[in-house]
């Protein structure tokens, strides 16, 4: 029976910058993923122990740990690279942990009383090796020509998270040997190039500051070459390990830390790498990590709810700003999150295998994801324009441009990011959606007069390379102000003159009500009257007792400010006795 199907919940999204002034640190929007695919198979398991990929035979192995009782049987589901189930391997007791030998000819499986072995060409059981009794689940890794395994023991599964666990190895004569390394908790193993072996300790009641360690497994004795604990002097920042992976060249280690996100470390001493990866989306806790065998991609799994991405595929080079493909798994067809240690790649990087689970951890799915193998160019064409032609501080301004793509058209509208640089520095303007014809509009309200330079960027995606930034400089002027003045044609010296008016300032609102200067000019000369303050609705009134007969001219003016031009208005009244 065909157990694979195409996912209907693939959400490939671009990460974008913060919106200016809004405090938004993530803008999620669909990205181009025309060449990406996601096949999904429902796994016949109710618990999950390990995932292993045999690229030589194009097989994927998923182990159901089925802990809890001595009589529980074990199960290993075997799939091909298309998501079709090939066979199921059943065991008399629970199994946990999977590891392939160097040439992929033998699958090592952690059994309760020993290490089981299978021929990967025929799935025939081979002679098993004895090992210390395991009641909590093993971790396996093949390094330096031998299989290493952990051996935890507890009286009940409730003690497993903090029980003492030994690191042992499986000898060629099918016996096992203690390495001497041991600590509390469900210790995890990971093999790497150059006969390296990594061991990580999950957070538990007996390990408030868990460790990560790298060993040289080339000799008869394991030699630790690097070790690190992460808590500071106040006990903060401790490792909350969910998964770990060596880079293909062995120089870096990526760690899925449920508290800190994705850590990137130098293998030599486990110090922080100079450049790290961007933070996971808000609300997502790291659960898995894996480098593609060709060194091109990094996959980061997470536990997240709703539409928050659970899986990100991005360039392995942390200096590459290409936006990742993001997958949000949600519901009974896909699972809800990536299971811890649930990511593995094929050796050539052409497929990513991801195990997802529901929130209860009682159902599991296998995803077969094919990232795009080819990237195409993208470019901005025709430069940028703006409208209105006269840019004014505090008023809306639209900056427009066009983005062109080579290769397949984006399946979903991509986004560009924009910034404005003025005398006060650089300001993030967020993202703008690119329409089907390639055009886009960035909206802004410049808040400073003078030159403002707009920079628009396309960070690329796994189908298209980033485009060279395009810039456009706009001269931002002051906003206009105006005074409308109403006066009688004639008035008398005895009754006085009353003028009314309205003051208007465009652009950004004034911090305080405007104060208007009032001047009176008559045949005796010119003088300044008392200033008037504009009311909240913009109106004002000027009352005056003229000092002489005949024509008297009243002038009301406002000097302007940093963002507004000044304005003036005059009215002439004929004054009688």
Residues 364 and 390 in one domain: no
Residues 206 and 136 in one domain: yes
**Structure confidence at residue 71 (pLDDT):** 80
Question: Does residue 567 sit within a domain?
Answer: yes
Residues 299 and 399 in one domain: no
Range of the domain at 267: 33-370
Residues 472 and 451 in one domain: yes
pLDDT single digits (tens) 10-59: 333 332 222 222 222 222 223 323 345 689 999 999 999 999 999 999 99
Residue 78 has pLDDT above 90, yes or no: yes
Residue 265 has pLDDT above 50, yes or no: yes
Question: Does residue 550 sit within a domain?
Answer: yes
Domain CATH number, residue 167 = 2.130.10.10
Domain CATH number, residue 522 = 2.60.40.10
Residue 3 has pLDDT above 90, yes or no: no
Among 374-378, 395-399, 422-426, 508-512, which stretch is predicted with the lowest mean pLDDT? 374-378
Nearest to 11 by CA among 312, 326, 303: 326
Question: Does residue 8 sit within a domain?
Answer: no
Contact 322, 465 (CB under 8 A): yes
pLDDT single digits (tens) 469-480: 999 999 999 999
Residues 358 and 387 in one domain: no
Please report the beta strands in 36-94, taking only residues with DSSP state E, as ranges in sequence order.
37-42, 50-54, 59-64, 74-80, 85-91
Contact 17, 430 (CB under 8 A): yes
**Tally of domains in the chain:** 3
Residues 215 and 346 in one domain: yes
Residues 418 and 524 in one domain: no
Domain boundary among 418, 444, 477: 477
pLDDT single digits (tens) 499-515: 999 999 998 899 899 99
Residue 2 has pLDDT above 50, yes or no: no
Domain boundary among 339, 370, 401: 370
Question: Does residue 9 sit within a domain?
Answer: no
List alpha helices for 121-217, DSSP H: none
Question: Does residue 145 sit within a domain?
Answer: yes
Question: Does residue 137 sit within a domain?
Answer: yes
User: Region 376-397: what's the mean pLDDT?
Assistant: 94
Would you place residue 172 in the very low, low, confident or very high pLDDT band (cuts 50, 70, 90)? low
Would you place residue 182 in the very low, low, confident or very high pLDDT band (cuts 50, 70, 90)? very high
Please report the beta strands in 328-387, taking only residues with DSSP state E, as ranges in sequence order.
337-345, 352-357, 364-370, 378-387
Backbone angles phi, psi at 24, to 5 degrees: -85, 125
Residues 382 and 344 in one domain: no
Residues 500 and 465 in one domain: no
Residues 420 and 279 in one domain: no
Pick the residue with more confidence: 518 or 36? 518
Residues 198 and 282 in one domain: yes
Question: Does residue 6 sit within a domain?
Answer: no
**Structure confidence at residue 546 (pLDDT):** 95
Domain boundary among 477, 499, 531: 477
Question: Does residue 24 sit within a domain?
Answer: no
Domain CATH number, residue 473 = 2.60.40.1930
Residues 317 and 392 in one domain: no
Nearest to 336 by CA among 314, 368, 362: 362
Sign of CA dihedral 414, 331, 95, 155: positive
pTM: 0.68
Nearest to 287 by CA among 266, 275, 305, 268: 305
HSE-CB for 75 with a 13 A CA cutoff: 12
């Amino acid at each position: 029976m065909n157990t694979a199907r195409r996912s209907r919940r693939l959400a490939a999204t671009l990460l974008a910058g913060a919106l200016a002034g809004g405090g938004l640190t993530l803008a999620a929007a669909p990205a181009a993923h025309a060449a990406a695919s996601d096949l999904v198979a429902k796994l016949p398991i109710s618990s999950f122990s390990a995932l292993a990929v045999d690229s030589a035979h194009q097989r994927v192995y998923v182990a159901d740990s089925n802990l809890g009782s001595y009589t529980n049987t074990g199960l290993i589901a075997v799939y091909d690279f298309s998501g079709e189930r090939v066979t199921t391997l059943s065991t008399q007791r629970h199994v946990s942990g999977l590891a392939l030998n160097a040439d992929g000819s033998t699958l090592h499986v952690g059994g309760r009383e020993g290490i089981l072995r299978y021929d990967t060409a025929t799935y025939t059981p081979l002679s098993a090796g004895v090992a210390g009794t395991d009641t909590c689940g093993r971790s396996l890794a093949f390094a330096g020509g031998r299989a290493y395994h952990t051996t935890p023991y507890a009286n009940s599964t409730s003690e497993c998270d903090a029980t003492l666990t030994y690191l042992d190895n499986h000898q060629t004569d099918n016996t096992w040997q203690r390495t001497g390394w041991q600590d509390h908790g469900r210790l995890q193993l990971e093999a790497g190039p150059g006969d390296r072996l990594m061991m990580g300790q999950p957070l538990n009641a007996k390990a408030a500051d868990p460790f990560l360690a790298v060993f040289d497994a080339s000799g008869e004795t394991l030699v630790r070459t690097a070790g690190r604990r992460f808590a500071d002097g106040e006990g903060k920042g401790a490792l909350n390990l969910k998964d770990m992976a060596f880079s293909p060249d062995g120089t870096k280690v990526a760690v899925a830390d449920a508290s800190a996100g994705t850590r990137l470390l130098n293998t030599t001493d486990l110090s922080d790498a100079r450049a790290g990866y961007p933070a996971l989306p808000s609300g997502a806790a790291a659960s898995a990590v894996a480098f593609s065998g060709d060194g091109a991609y990094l996959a980061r799994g997470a536990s997240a709810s709703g539409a928050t991405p659970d899986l990100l595929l991005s360039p392995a080079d942390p200096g590459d700003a290409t936006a990742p493909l993001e997958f949000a798994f949600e519901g009974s067809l896909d699972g809800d999150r990536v299971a811890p240690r649930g990511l593995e790649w094929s050796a050539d990087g052409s497929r990513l295998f991801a195990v997802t689970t529901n929130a209860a951890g009682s159902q599991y799915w296998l995803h077969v994801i094919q990232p795009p193998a080819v990237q195409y160019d993208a470019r901005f064409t025709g430069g940028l324009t703006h409208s209105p032609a006269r840019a004014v501080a505090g008023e809306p301004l639209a900056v427009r441009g066009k983005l062109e793509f080579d290769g397949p058209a984006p399946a979903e509208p991509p986004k560009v990011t924009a910034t404005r640089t003025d005398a006060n520095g650089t300001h993030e303007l967020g993202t703008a959606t690119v329409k089907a014809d390639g055009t886009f509009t960035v909206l802004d309200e410049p808040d400073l007069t003078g030159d403002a330079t707009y920079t628009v960027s396309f960070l690329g995606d796994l189908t298209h390379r980033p485009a060279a930034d395009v810039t456009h400089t706009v001269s931002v002027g002051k906003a206009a102000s105006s005074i409308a003045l109403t006066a009688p044609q004639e008035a008398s010296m005895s009754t006085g003159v009353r003028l009314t008016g309205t003051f208007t300032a465009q652009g950004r609102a004034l911090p305080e009500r405007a104060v208007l200067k009032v001047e009176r000019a008559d045949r005796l000369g010119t003088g300044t009257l008392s200033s008037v303050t504009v009311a909240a609705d913009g109106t004002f009134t000027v009352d005056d007792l003229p000092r002489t007969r005949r024509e008297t001219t009243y002038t009301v003016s406002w000097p302007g400010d940093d963002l507004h031009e000044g304005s003036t208005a005059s009215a002439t009244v004929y004054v009688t006795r």
